[in-house]
Amino acid sequence: MVKHIDDEVAYYYDSHPTEEDLMGETSFHSALVHYLVDVLRWLFHDRVCAIYENLNFYYTSNSREKPLVPDIAVITDVAFRHVRSWRIGKSGPTPRVVFEIASEETWQKDINEKPLKYAHIGVEEYIFYDPNEPPLARETAQRLRVWRLDENRMMLLPVQADASGQIWSACLESWLAPDGIYLRLYDQFGNLRLTQTEAERQRAEAEARHAEAERQRAEAEAQRAAILAEMLRSMGIDPDKL
């Protein structure tokens, strides 16, 4: 019998580790997840959006259901709130975008099994990235893979990269570009998507450059005025009386 607490299912795997919980996390994996979360939070900072790391997602009320646990989940039109897990349809909608970062233990499941599982719950875009050196899929060395939900919302279909290896994400309104151990996001004009810290530093540097340009302009104007005043005095004209 399913046990309920405050009308919520007490899912077994909310208090017991999954197989992935028991696996170690490389520094490549950790660094990329934290970087992408920072980029995504700033990308959506002026929109209602919830971004979660390693949150358990459930589809049924079966207390023994094994959750899907994407490294990153982007749920649009829902404000972030602290939750133990997420039951789709009850806690809120399906994540629009999910990311999986490859590890030695999971990468084959990530590319062979999870597109079907994420399609089943209605994820629109599934993004897989391999930050390992060398890439784990050594026969292809393909770091970036993206799947997009088809028009019938039944299957996640693979998306082909362009000649430069980039893939456009409609959900994130960004180009996804492999960059060694990092996955970069760029806007449609080729500008790198920044974290909040990077954006604020860039803005501060731009303001400092503008202030310096204004200081130099004012200094040049003062020098020109001084030269003109000296010329007028040499002609017997008092510039202060003009």
Domains and CATH numbers, the chain: 4-193 (3.90.1570.10), 198-241 (no CATH)
Q: Residue 126 has what DSSP assignment?
A: E
In whole angstroms, give the CA distance from residue 43 to residue 176: 14
| pTM of structure | 0.84
Q: Residue 14 has what DSSP assignment?
A: G
What angle do the packed helices 196-234 and 27-43 form, to 10 degrees?
A: 60
In whole angstroms, give the CA distance from residue 236 to residue 230: 10
Tell me how far the alpha carbon of residue 139 is from its chain's centroid.
28
Closest by alpha carbon to 100, among 125, 119, 128, 120?
Answer: 128
- Reading the block at residue 2, the tokens are 């399913």
Length of the chain: 242
Amino acid letter, 206:
A
- Reading the block at residue 155, the tokens are 């299957």
Structural element, H or E, at residue 97:
strand 97-101
* The dihedral formed by the CA atoms of 196, 198, 204 and 209, expressed in degrees to the nearest 10: -150
- Reading the block at residue 46, the tokens are 């002026």
Tell me how far the alpha carbon of residue 108 is from its chain's centroid.
23
Q: Which residues contact 227 (CB under 8 A, 6 or more apart)?
A: none
Give the pLDDT of the chain (242 residues) as one tens digit per residue.
344 344 478 999 999 988 777 666 778 789 999 999 999 999 999 999 999 999 999 999 999 999 999 999 999 999 999 999 999 999 999 999 999 999 888 899 999 999 999 999 999 999 999 998 888 877 777 899 999 999 888 899 999 999 999 999 999 999 999 999 999 999 999 999 999 999 999 888 888 898 888 998 988 898 998 888 888 888 888 878 77
* Cα angle for residues 21, 178, 99 (degrees, 5° grid): 30
In whole angstroms, give the CA distance from residue 174 to residue 129: 15
Q: Which residues contact 85 (CB under 8 A, 6 or more apart)?
A: 11, 14, 55, 56, 57, 58, 67, 91
Closest by alpha carbon to 133, among 121, 141, 125?
Answer: 141
pLDDT score, position 24: 60
Q: Does the bond joining 134 to the residue before it have cis omega, within 30 degrees of 0?
A: yes
Whether the CB-CB separation of 147 and 125 falls below 8 Å is answered with yes
